[in-house]
Structure 1
Amino acid sequence: MRWYLRHWYDVGIAVCILALACGVLIELNTLQRILLLSFAVLMLHEFEEYGWPGGLPTFMNEVVRASRTPDRYPLNQMNSMVVNVLAAYPFYLLPVLFPDVIWLALAPVLFNFLEVLLHCGGGFGKARALYSPGLLSVVPWLVLSIWYLIEVNQQNLITANDWWIGIGYLFAWLIVFLGLVTYVWLADKNSPYRFASEELTRFERYRRFVHAAHQHPQPAPTTGPTL
């Protein structure tokens, strides 16, 4: 268990390869292929955030939340794994298995758009930097989500009810897993599931850049009258 908590995003790369192999070997329709690719991008996105170049634990716990215990609060190894694996994998995989249930796929598709906004806002806004962990991998998500919406509209598969149910499902998922599970129920200032030192020191160049952006320059001491 401890090993998996430390390496779930590394394992995710193997799952990503397996998903892509299934896309090649198994006969799928266009919507299923788009959704399966979106699932594969999920694991690339998680690896970019936590593995390479990494930096999300530091970004969330030091920059966004300014935590006094950034190695374990509010994000820690346990709640990161739960939301990214136990919650996100079914969220993205179920639409592949049930492609005719459009609202089921609409929720993760809309979440992809939300991720684009969050990462751009985090990179350009909160961090005052041109990059936030996970920013690059949201680009294929954006392309796939637009493609999906074009397909369901061209095939006349999407209805007003799909939009309402899909949006409701997305909000419920966000409140339960991103809100309550991640930042309330499994967030603990004394959590034993602290991030490993190498997880906190990844992408040091980015961390230094962010820290420098958040430091307010101090005025130079005045030693006497100046001309």
Structure 2
Amino acid sequence: MLDFIRHHWYDLGVISFIVSARYFHLNRSKLTTTQKFLLLNFMTVLVHQFEEYRFPGGFPAAMNMGVHSSERPDRFPLSSQSSTFTNVVATYGFYLPPVFFPDYVWAGLAPILFGFGQFFIHGINMNMKLGTFYNPGLASVILMHIPLGYYYIRYMTSSGQLTGRQWALGLAYGAAFWYLMLIKSTFGWLVDYNSPYPFYPNEMERGGMAAWIRRVRNA
């Protein structure tokens, strides 16, 4: 069961997306505007993860082969275990709770800001290291995370909910999440050169990213 989850958590996210869309539809008259934004943000990160790992996929290859030039790219530094842990915790522990507790504005602001931060990861850092204009996950960042984040901040500011204190708390919370989940966990505590949790070959080859990296570096 756990092995299935390690290699299909992003597919299971489709179920979460459908349930969320249904919930949004059935409760659209009850949800506040803030909650609608935050629920859409939760759904956006599900799309983002699906783009990274399923269609077109290829994020494990882009990260391990392209960014880190790993000698064991199927498991180092990113493994199916660390990827599952980080993404599942981020999705259901970071993005989802603010939907049901919208009065904690800082908690909702942090994942919105994290969406903007994804542009630094995908749009700048990874593209520079890969020598590309696209990598798995970038489309959803540009087409969904950034526009949604812009309209959320504009609405929250105009409605007086996004105060200086909320900005400070949101930035601090987002920075703490970034540091603990990405730097310390995903690429720190959970890194294992001999990890027993490799990505499957089909996960590595999706989207043609692995083949493209091999072709370019062997040219």
TM-score range with shorter-chain normalisation? Answer: over 0.9
Could you list the runs of 5+ residues in structure 2 that have no partner in the other structure? none
Letter of the structure 2 residue corresponding to residue 166 of structure 1? G
The reply on whether 1:85 has 2:79 as its aligned counterpart is no
- Matched residue, 2:17: 16
CA distance in 1, matches of 2:160, 2:43: 26
Letter of the structure 2 residue corresponding to residue 18 of structure 1? V
RMSD: 1.4
Letter of the structure 2 residue corresponding to residue 194 of structure 1? P
Q: TM-score, normalised by structure 2?
A: 0.93
CA contact (8 A) 1:128 1:210 kept: no
Residue 135 of structure 1: CA displacement? 0.9
Q: C-alpha offsets along residues 98-145 of structure 1, whole Å, 9 cap, x if unaligned?
A: 112111111111111111222111454111112111111112111110
2:136 to 133, 145, 150: 133
Q: C-alpha offsets along residues 200-224 of structure 1, whole Å, 9 cap, x if unaligned?
A: 11112x3333344445x6xxxxxxx
Higher helix residue share: 2
CA contact (8 A) 1:127 1:213 kept: no
SS at match of 1:201: helix
1:36 to 35, 39, 56: 39
CA distance in 2, matches of 1:36, 1:45: 14
CA distance in 2, matches of 1:198, 1:136: 22
Could you list the runs of 5+ residues in structure 1 that have no partner in the other structure? 218-227
CA contact (8 A) 2:46 2:91 kept: no
CA distance in 1, matches of 2:126, 2:188: 25
1:152 to 134, 153, 156: 156
CA contact (8 A) 2:76 2:192 kept: yes
CA distance in 1, matches of 2:90, 2:127: 28
- Matched residue, 1:199: 203
CA distance in 2, matches of 1:181, 1:127: 23
Residue 182 of structure 1: CA displacement? 0.7
CA distance in 1, matches of 2:145, 2:172: 21
CA distance in 2, matches of 1:87, 1:124: 23
Q: TM-score, normalised by structure 1?
A: 0.90
CA distance in 2, matches of 1:106, 1:213: 40
SS at match of 2:202: helix
Kindly, what percent of the aligned residue pairs are identical? 37
SS at match of 2:193: coil
